[in-house]
């Protein structure tokens, strides 16, 4: 009798242990399933990429370097003011932008403007940029792919598509663009450049070389919503 009671007691203990083990296993299984669901949910969350319009800082300029046909190095360096500018970003990619250049603010630092004939003065004349009739030039960005900016530049009413290499950094707060490239202005049919290009080689040496080097170092800030 005593042996039977002992056996029954042992069976109860074993059954209790099995029950606890089963409950613990199920509980662990539920927690593991919940953890997997949480990880899965985290994997499915997409971080929003940066988008928006950025306005170019006031007093921004483009630097230009020019020379004559006879020169082996740049003979003149100056700036042209950007009167307005914006850059459009979609999912961290520059997809557009518009810039307006104040052609009445073409400046060559150090030029003695009291003299009747200076390069700065010549650039405003009708045979060059004719600033009394064309106070501004514009550039519209159509794409920025693989480090190359493509867009339409309008000078004295003549529009041409141009491309140039550039480096850009996009953040939530700002966009910066840096570039240095050569541009042949002969394609914009500036009278002085066209006349110089047709001169005999000896006389041509004193004329302005239509290929100008431009430098950009722009910063634009996120526009307020």
In the predicted structure, residue 31 carries a pLDDT above the cut 60: no
Could you tell me the pLDDT band of residue 223, with boundaries at 50, 70 and 90?
Answer: confident
Per cent of the chain over pLDDT 70 is 78
- What pLDDT shows up at residue 162? 98
Q: Do residues 60 and 165 both lie within one domain?
A: yes
Structural domain span for residue 127: 52-222
Is the pTM higher than 0.85? no
Is residue 156 classed exposed, middle or buried when 0-12, 13-18 and 19+ CB atoms within 10 A define those classes?
A: middle
> Domain check: are 39 and 147 in the same one?
no
Specify the pLDDT at position 32.
52
Task: Say which CATH number the domain at 68 has.
Answer: 2.40.128.110
**In this predicted structure, what is the pLDDT of residue 207?**
93
Q: What is the rounded average pLDDT for all residues in the chain?
A: 85
The count of structural domains within the chain is: 2
Whether residue 131 contacts residue 124, with contact meaning beta carbons closer than 8 Å, is answered with: yes
* pLDDT, mean of residues 100-121: 87
**How large is the average pLDDT for residues 215-223?**
95
Digit-coded pLDDT (tens) for 34-57: 555 555 555 566 677 899 999 999
Q: pLDDT higher for 128 or 23?
A: 128
| pLDDT tens-digit series, residues 159-178 | 999 999 999 999 999 999 99
Can you spell out the DSSP letters for 77-114? Answer: EEEEEEEEEEEEEETTEEEEEEEEEEEEEEE-TT--TT
Is 211 found in the same domain as 108? yes
How many angstroms separate the CA atoms of 146 and 6, rounded?
A: 83
Residues 135 and 115 in one domain: yes
């Amino acid at each position: 009798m005593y042996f039977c009671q002992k056996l029954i007691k042992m069976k109860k203990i074993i059954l209790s242990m099995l029950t606890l083990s089963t409950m613990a296993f199920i509980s662990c299984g539920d927690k593991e399933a919940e953890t997997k669901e949480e990880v899965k949910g985290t994997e499915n969350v997409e971080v929003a990429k940066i988008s928006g319009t950025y306005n170019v800082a006031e007093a921004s300029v483009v630097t230009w370097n020019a020379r004559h046909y006879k020169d082996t190095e740049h003979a003149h360096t100056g700036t042209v003011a950007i009167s307005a500018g914006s850059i459009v970003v979609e999912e961290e990619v520059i997809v557009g932008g518009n810039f307006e250049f104040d052609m009445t603010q073409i400046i060559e630092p150090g030029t003695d403007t009291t003299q009747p004939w200076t390069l700065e003065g010549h650039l405003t004349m009708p045979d060059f940029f004719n600033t009394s009739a064309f106070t501004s030039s514009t550039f519209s960005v159509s794409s920025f792919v693989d480090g190359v900016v493509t867009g339409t530049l309008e000078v004295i009413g003549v529009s041409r598509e141009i491309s140039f290499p550039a480096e850009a950094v996009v953040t939530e707060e700002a966009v910066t663009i840096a570039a240095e490239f050569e541009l042949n202005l002969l394609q914009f049919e500036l009278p002085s450049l066209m006349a110089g290009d047709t001169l005999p080689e000896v006389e041509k040496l004193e004329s302005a070389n239509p290929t100008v080097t431009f430098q950009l170092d722009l910063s634009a800030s996120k526009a307020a919503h």
